[in-house]
Each structure stands twice: as structure tokens, then as C-alpha cells.
Amino acid sequence: MPEPATRVFTNLDHLVAELRRRRWREDFQKDHERLIHRDGFDLGPLSAIYASVSSSTFRAFRSGHEWAPSTVFREWAGRRLSEGTMKDVLALRSNEEYRTLALGLARNLEKDWKQRLHGPLQIPRALKLVNLLMKGLCVVCPVWPKRFGTLVWFLDVPLDKYSLRPLACIPKLANLGIRWNTATMGSVPDLRTYNHIQDSIHEACAKANVPAIAYDFLAWNLPHREVK
């Protein structure tokens, strides 16, 4: 299967126009239906743990140790969700609260990762995994279907080359020193840069009156569907 091309937007207005066209509620509905087709029924958070992060994402985390990165992440996510994080997710009321929760989870994952894989997991990379998990939780119970319409407005976007490279169209990001045409997950060096990028995505999506996660469907999901 050929690798999808990253999206290109001529300017911020072009991006906002494409975001306005995104039927993001239908995107989530399709993700829920694909999950049901795969598992036969909604297994709740367990389905999200196994479906939210693709094998291609885990391949970026090479490991020569006893534990595979996918195993470390899934066992960590299972523990966290069973120990109260799911309740914390359902209690979220803003993006600010979401970022506080996501950062705490990312730091906890970083610690577990280092202990089991004996290597560092930079916070922006850990946040990508957390954001993917949160996106996945939106299409399973107890979030789906009644609560997802609230939670999605608080989510941040998983950052990788598909979500980063199209951001070249946003003028205020030019001073970050990132080469957007070749940007990857490793191009985000620290939390300050990460937050600046997320803020800019939220601002663009606010202009289009869509949640920020709609940008992820536009930049990642849509290109990957087109090559299938």
C-alpha cells in the first residue's frame, strides 16, 4: 500500500474552509462502526486501548528489549483507565483541564516506559500516544454516544508528519524554527512548542466552528482512507 501524501493548504483561509467542510460527527460515527465491525461489539476502553494506536506508530519506537512498545503502552493504559483515569476523562469541562490530565498521563507513561524499555520517551511523543488514546475513547462506551459530543471539543491533536506539515500555512508558527515541509513527530522539541502548535490548531478550528480533533480527521484520517 502506498504511503499517503500529506495535505497542503495554500493559506490559513484555505485550511479554515476545508475544516468547515469536515463532517466530523460522521467521522466519529464511521470510526465507531469500524470498531464494532472489527470486535463484534463495543468493548469499552479495552477496544480503545487496542485500536487507537496503529502498528505503524509503534514501529517508530524501536526497542531491542524484552517488552514491545505496544505491550508497554497497552498495559499502562489498561492500568490507568481502571484506576480512575476514565472517571477523570468523563469529568473534563475544558481544554485546559484536558491538557492538565494529558500531561500528567504523559509523564506517568514516560516513567513506565523508561523503567521497562530502558530508554527515554520525550513528553511530546508521550502526549501523541495519550491524545490517540483519548480520541479512541470517544467512540466507545461510556463516552459514546451520549458524551462524545462534549468531550471532543476539549481534545488536542496527535502530532506527526500528517498533522504537522500542513501547518506551514499558519503564519504565526513560522517563528518556531520547524521545517514544516519535512516535519515529523520528532520535530517538536519541548512542551512549550507543543502547546504553541496545539493553540494554533485550536484557533484555526474555532474559526471554522469545529473541534480541534476535526483537523486530525482532515490531516490524518482522510489521506489514509483515500489510499485504501
Domain ranges (residues) in the chain: 12-226
| Opening angle at CA 110, ends 69 and 160, nearest 5 | 65
Q: Residue 180 corresponds to which amino acid? A: W
Write down the pLDDT at residue 182. 96
Which residue bears the cell 462502526? Answer: 33
Conformational region of residue 178, where left means phi above 0, alpha means psi within -120 to 50, and beta covers everything else? beta
Total count of residues recorded for the chain: 228
Average pLDDT in the 187-212 region? 97
Q: CA distances (Å), 172 to each of 13, 157, 195, 222, in order? A: 14, 18, 13, 25
* pLDDT top residue among 70 and 159: 159
Q: How far is CA 33 from the centre of its chain?
A: 19
pTM for the predicted model, two decimal places: 0.93
pLDDT digits (tens, 9 = 90+) for 110-142: 999 999 888 889 999 999 999 999 999 999 999
**pLDDT band of 24, cuts 50, 70, 90:** very high
